Structure 1
Amino acid sequence: MLGMDVTEVASGTAEQPGPAVMVRWWAITLVMVSAAAVLILELTSVRLAAPYVGNTFQTYTASIAVTLAAIALGANRGGWAADFLPPKVLIGPLLAVGGLLVLASKPIVLAVGPLVRDSGPAGSIILVGVAAAAPVAVLSAISPVVVKTQLRRLADSGTVVGRFSAFGTVGGLAGTFLTGYVLLATLPVSAILVGTGAVLVALGGWQLVGSRWLTGRRTVIGMVAVLVLATGGAVALPVPCDYETAYYCARVTDDSDRPGGRTLWLDDAEHSYVDTEDYGYLKFAYTQRYGDVINAMWPARKPVRALHIGGGGFTMPRWLTATRPGSTSRVLEVDPVVVRLGRERLGLRTSDALQVRVGDARVSIRSEPAAGYDLVIGDAFSSSAVPWHLATQEFAAELRRVLRPGGLYVLNVIDFPPLALLAAEIATVRSVFGAVTVMGTKAALEGKEGGNFVIVAGDRIPDRDTLLAAAAHRGEPGGVASPAQLAALVGNARPLTDDRAPVDQLITTYRYF
């Protein structure tokens, strides 16, 4: 410094003493890989949490919030550490520890998940936090540390920081697209996490050896052994799923009382029940209400042409085939794995009478013919709520378009007092269809309890007395809303639209489980 011109220092052109320079391509690789891993973990943490707290908007919000907070903390602490310790020496431990934490995320969620099951938004934050916060923070510390290895002159600092910020963003985008479009569609979440963690630990071990933290054959063998044990443990641990899909943690349980009885669980909810030896049997009350409506609307055994929004256990399509020979059904199901599960575990057989179209119903409905169906059955769920884009006026208008004159739309809605989601959905359907009623238990229709409600809508709907008699016959007296009850349920609720559909915020479930 004594021999350096003062203007040279002030202009930033002087060489600055600092750490040994890491090869640029390697530095870029580490930043991109760590950023990609952060986004992979952000997306997969939702799937880890969903079996316990649901696949809701709150779960996604928790994932984004936890990830952003952990990125901020990690970047801050990483930059601080790089000023006090040799940056090249820090990178290996950060990669290795981050990878081990990724491998540990699944066991941690399996341990904590049952403790926060069905606890709503708070549970989402807790579960996503224990899964993702620590590994994301550690991995986010890598970028500022790597940048420090590349800073040689003050004059180049803006270029260097900007370059690595850009490459970190590219890595994050790669992780996002890879996870959303490829990994979740082809691999179980556990395999994604194991692969990501193994890559990070391997890179960390390589960096540790290169930085001379680890030397000798025994040390390298020890690192490999740790990686193998951690990976094997993560793979071997049980998961609460038979099938991990891009949308759900799905499993099937047997009914001890009926040899052919099967219950389909999607995430944390009982979604469907089907008896593979008797398709005419309906166990769940809401499907029995569907049956009451269909029997009241059309003469016994009259064939019906039906469109089903959501497949699940494919209960109602097969009930129609069993009880009304000649009926035809088309099912719009978003998840191809649910269709495969139906074939492998629930006895599903497709045919001209039962067709399945894989894709989002909001998109698929556009190509369905106008006035092509007698009946539309809505039974699509994301966790406990109807997906918001299938709950709006605009979607209801599409359903009315595909219904023939005199056709019916029946929709399953889950809610609990104060029944805000039910009120909004009744208002929505009523704004499109000429006649509407609601079915449920007597106490639920009085606003005293919650559960499954069935909204019935159309140009005309079955006579209330006929539906009341059918409900009473199967043990649900008073199970159809009177005009006064319907008005009380709706209140001042506003219809849901594509511009305003806070479905996950309106539903009340977690307080009552």
Structure 2
Amino acid sequence: MNSPSPDVAVPPAQPEPATGRALPGGLAAFLVFFSSGAVLVLETVALRLVGPYVGVTLQVTSSVIGIALAAIAYGAWSGGWLADRRDPRTLLAPALVLAGIATAVTLPVVRYAGEVLRGGAATAILLLVALAVFVPAALLAAVTPLVVKLQLADLRRTGQVVGRLSGIGTLGGITATLGTGFVLVAALPSTVILFTLAAALGITGISLGVWLRRRDRAGTPGPARAKAALAVLGLVGAGLTTVAPNPCDIETAYHCARVEADPDRDSGRTLLLNSAQHSYVDLADPTHLEYAYTQWIGAVADVVAPPGRRLDALHLGGGGFTVPGYLTATRPGTDNVVFEIDGGLVELGERELGVRQGPALRAVVGDARMLVAGEPGDSRDLVVGDAFGHLVVPWHLATREMAAEIRRVTRPGGVYVQNVIDYPPLRFIRSELATVAAEFRHVALIAPPAALAGEQGSNFLIVASDAPLPLDAVRARLDTLDEATTLLSGAELSGFVGDALVLTDDYAPVDQLLATA
């Protein structure tokens, strides 16, 4: 027998086709695009779900991103493992339906668990975020490897198929991220977004299952008992949502907001943002300042400009518009400009907190850092910094560069007051004092004695100016208040600040400085 000549090419063996027929290209692309996008919708909305209970800090944001990525990794690995052991056509529809049910159940689970895990402890944050994201995201992440396995009918095109579907999945995530951040969150409550997504996933899964069975008899209908159980689970999730505790009256683009009446003061209203007390307004008496830090601001304003003398005031953060209302009531003709990033809070203030825009008050919606840069120099007698993301000053409003912009806007002899919240060991307030002092020549600090001793968390008020501060007059005014207050300046303040870090745009670890451990 003659052996074949080495010059003769042997045709390559035909590749074994993958299990079953491939899905139509458009359907495969849609499933990958839709499932990948749904994961990013969940990730974005999760920040709104957990914010009322654990805040919206760098740690919370990092937890949402990290756990979503973990869910994607685990779901993709599990989906690929299952795709090699079972016909993917029998798994795709159940994965989507189960993801829809898990999404519907997410809202009541987070609301009930949030009441138990309320606070900022790291374990509470991680657990609550996992409850919000992990299960539905993992189920959705399993869709892509299932689809990829079905499309690998020709092993010579493996790279093309995997690369194309991977790119489509990435585009789905990008589209969902931008659409949710720019459109959905601004237009719809979280409840509507989640239940719409859950319904879309369920309908897609059911429709896909029916289509596959009719097209090629892939698999058989599941047991009636299993279907009934899934339907009941979905209905239970929807029912629990209707009775789950809701921490919001309204959801704005940035906050879960609620206004509560004061049971001890008929005209008193408390604004809660993400379940934390933020502002107090007396609808009948705008000169009433309930919280200590607002009383301190009022005391400084009364010394800088005695009642009756108008001011040009700039407010970084609006909240309940308490301080602008006080300045208008005590100094007719005062020009209050308020930079508030959350337009929903402005509308809520106008609707429920007596805010009236006009010559005395103009609210400008936007980021204070960007808006301050557009203000003319030497234009304000008083600048009030009272902007918070939950209980944290946004880092870009706490840097030396921001302080330089505020100094530029403040008139010679004008005053900047900044409200800061910190907890023992008081690293952030020390750094923020060092940061402000790097730009302003004269700085003082108002705080409760127990807070300065490191015994409790508290509000702190930084007072700064390029002109010498009227410290004796401020101290005398503070002495008239009900609660004991300390005014630090000079050598005492320098000793308190020590060698604290000056925060800059390049390095401002605000959340880490606020960590209590």
TM-score range, shorter chain: over 0.9
- Cα deviation digits, residues 374-413 of structure 1 (max 9, x gap): 0000000001111001111111111111111111100000
Structure 1 pair 387/17, CA: closer, same or farther in 2 (3 Å)? Answer: closer
Structure 1 residue 24 displacement after superposition: 1.5
1:400 equivalent in alignment to 2:407: yes
Structure 1 residue 347 displacement after superposition: 1.1
Which residue in 2 is equivalent to 1:253?
260
Contact 2:336 2:362 in 1 (8 A): yes
Mapped partners of 1:219, 1:62: distance in 2 = 34
- Cα deviation digits, residues 142-184 of structure 1 (max 9, x gap): 0000111111111011111111100000100111011000001
Structure 1 pair 163/501, CA: closer, same or farther in 2 (3 Å)? Answer: same
Contact 2:80 2:146 in 1 (8 A): yes
The aligned amino acid for 1:483 is: G
Matches within 5 A, 1:222-371: 230-231=237-238, 233-234=240-241, 237-371=244-378
1:110 equivalent in alignment to 2:111: yes
Mapped partners of 2:236, 2:449: distance in 1 = 56
Mapped partners of 2:480, 2:469: distance in 1 = 16
Mapped partners of 1:478, 1:273: distance in 2 = 20
- Cα deviation digits, residues 471-502 of structure 1 (max 9, x gap): 22113345211434312321111111100111
1:410 equivalent in alignment to 2:417: yes
Which residue in 1 is equivalent to 2:3?
none
Contact 2:21 2:153 in 1 (8 A): no
Structure 1 residue 370 displacement after superposition: 1.2
Contact 1:445 1:485 in 2 (8 A): no
CA RMSD of superposed structures (Å)? 2.2
1:463 equivalent in alignment to 2:467: no
Mapped partners of 2:287, 2:439: distance in 1 = 32
The aligned amino acid for 2:177 is: T
Mapped partners of 1:120, 1:384: distance in 2 = 14
Matches within 5 A, 1:16-35: 16-35=17-36
Which residue in 1 is equivalent to 2:128?
127
Structure 1 pair 223/73, CA: closer, same or farther in 2 (3 Å)? Answer: closer
Mapped partners of 1:356, 1:70: distance in 2 = 42
Structure 1 residue 460 displacement after superposition: 2.3
Which residue in 2 is equivalent to 1:432?
439
Q: Secondary structure at the match of 2:434?
A: helix
Structure 1 pair 401/42, CA: closer, same or farther in 2 (3 Å)? Answer: same
Q: Secondary structure at the match of 1:64?
A: helix
Contact 1:22 1:150 in 2 (8 A): yes
Contact 1:408 1:461 in 2 (8 A): no
- Cα deviation digits, residues 330-351 of structure 1 (max 9, x gap): 0000001000110111111100
Structure 1 pair 352/150, CA: closer, same or farther in 2 (3 Å)? Answer: same
Which residue in 1 is equivalent to 2:4?
none
Structure 1 pair 111/6, CA: closer, same or farther in 2 (3 Å)? Answer: farther
Contact 2:55 2:390 in 1 (8 A): yes
1:39 equivalent in alignment to 2:40: yes
Mapped partners of 2:315, 2:308: distance in 1 = 19
- Cα deviation digits, residues 271-325 of structure 1 (max 9, x gap): 1111011001000000000011111122232111100000000001110011111
Which residue in 2 is equivalent to 1:141?
142
Contact 1:198 1:227 in 2 (8 A): no
Mapped partners of 2:457, 2:16: distance in 1 = 71
The aligned amino acid for 1:293 is: V
Contact 1:214 1:220 in 2 (8 A): no
Structure 1 residue 120 displacement after superposition: 2.8
Mapped partners of 2:106, 2:235: distance in 1 = 16
Which residue in 2 is equivalent to 1:89?
90
Which residue in 2 is equivalent to 1:99?
100
More deviation, 242-251/421-430: 242-251
1:384 equivalent in alignment to 2:370: no
Which residue in 1 is equivalent to 2:190?
189
Identical residues among aligned pairs (%): 44
The aligned amino acid for 2:274 is: D
The aligned amino acid for 1:80 is: W
Aligned residues: 503
Mapped partners of 2:228, 2:367: distance in 1 = 49
Which residue in 2 is equivalent to 1:507?
514
1:447 equivalent in alignment to 2:454: yes
More deviation, 210-219/48-57: 210-219
Mapped partners of 1:324, 1:165: distance in 2 = 62
Structure 1 residue 368 displacement after superposition: 1.2
Q: Secondary structure at the match of 2:358?
A: coil
Which residue in 2 is equivalent to 1:8?
12
Contact 2:22 2:150 in 1 (8 A): yes
More deviation, 13-22/187-196: 13-22
- Cα deviation digits, residues 432-488 of structure 1 (max 9, x gap): 001000001122223333200000001125332222222221133452114343123
The aligned amino acid for 1:145 is: L
The aligned amino acid for 1:428 is: T
Q: Secondary structure at the match of 1:356?
A: strand
Which residue in 1 is equivalent to 2:5?
none
Unaligned ranges ≥5, structure 1: none
Mapped partners of 2:179, 2:298: distance in 1 = 43
TM-score by length of 1: 0.94
Which residue in 2 is equivalent to 1:158?
159
Structure 1 pair 228/444, CA: closer, same or farther in 2 (3 Å)? Answer: closer
Mapped partners of 1:495, 1:406: distance in 2 = 24
Mapped partners of 1:424, 1:215: distance in 2 = 62
The aligned amino acid for 2:203 is: A
Contact 1:312 1:338 in 2 (8 A): yes
Structure 1 pair 478/207, CA: closer, same or farther in 2 (3 Å)? Answer: closer
Structure 1 pair 461/477, CA: closer, same or farther in 2 (3 Å)? Answer: farther
The aligned amino acid for 1:83 is: D
Which residue in 2 is equivalent to 1:199?
200
2:487 to 480, 485, 496: 480
Contact 2:442 2:469 in 1 (8 A): no
Mapped partners of 1:432, 1:201: distance in 2 = 57
Contact 2:296 2:478 in 1 (8 A): yes
Contact 1:442 1:476 in 2 (8 A): no
- Cα deviation digits, residues 68-107 of structure 1 (max 9, x gap): 1111100000000011111011000000001111111111
Contact 2:18 2:149 in 1 (8 A): no
- Cα deviation digits, residues 181-218 of structure 1 (max 9, x gap): 00011111111111111100111111222233448999
Structure 1 pair 270/478, CA: closer, same or farther in 2 (3 Å)? Answer: closer
TM-score by length of 2: 0.93
Mapped partners of 1:432, 1:49: distance in 2 = 37
Mapped partners of 2:241, 2:10: distance in 1 = 58
More deviation, 14-23/194-203: 14-23
The aligned amino acid for 2:68 is: T
